[in-house]
Amino acid sequence: MARPREFDTDLAVEQAMGLFWRQGYHATPMPRLTALLGIGNGSLYAAFGSKDGLYARALERYSAGMVAALNRDVRAGSDIRTALRGLLISMIVDDVADPERGCLLVSAATERAAHDGTVEQVRQAMAAVESVLADALIRGRARGELSGERSPLELARFLTTFIQGMRVMGQARADRAFLESAVSGALRALD
């Protein structure tokens, strides 16, 4: 009879996500993971299949949280420009406060570009970001906040790409004034 699992897998995914986010996949050795989680190799493999399996779950957790926060934030402003500006400025504040942390999706896309599963997870997360932004832009256009000439889908793709570039610039230690100037330029695309 198999022994019951003696650790909280949700907590383990959360803790592993933080470690992968801070250090990256390759710089996170198995002994560091098992020590952080307080489990042995066998328990990790039984619960997640492999380090890759745990990384995939951590990336899934990060993506779901990021998309949920994005959806909340784009609904927070009185209009689409205010909401987007607030969202982008909050990212700047986070990046300036902790530039080494950056974005787990950016790290995953660059560090694990040769891993098809990770690439697909990043692609799906970016598609979800694009969808949230497109829906927000469609709502903004329906309220008369955007020109009918602008394609919400094209704008959403631009903003999705801009956000990821901004996250990279944050990791490159761009200062707040630089990033805020870039946000102002990006928001002019809505005119």
pLDDT digits (tens, 9 = 90+) for 6-16: 778 999 999 99
pLDDT of residue 58: 97
For residue 99, give its domain range: 51-190
Residue 25 lies in a domain: no
Domain assignment present for residue 44? The answer is no
Query: Based on the structure, what is the number of domains in the chain?
Result: 1
Residue 114 lies in a domain: yes
Are 89 and 183 in contact by the 8 Å Cβ rule? The answer is yes
pLDDT in tens, 134-152: 999 999 999 999 987 889 9
State pTM to two decimals: 0.90
Torsion sign across C-alpha atoms 23, 160, 64, 84: positive
41 domain-assigned = no
Domain CATH code at residue 61 = 1.10.357.10
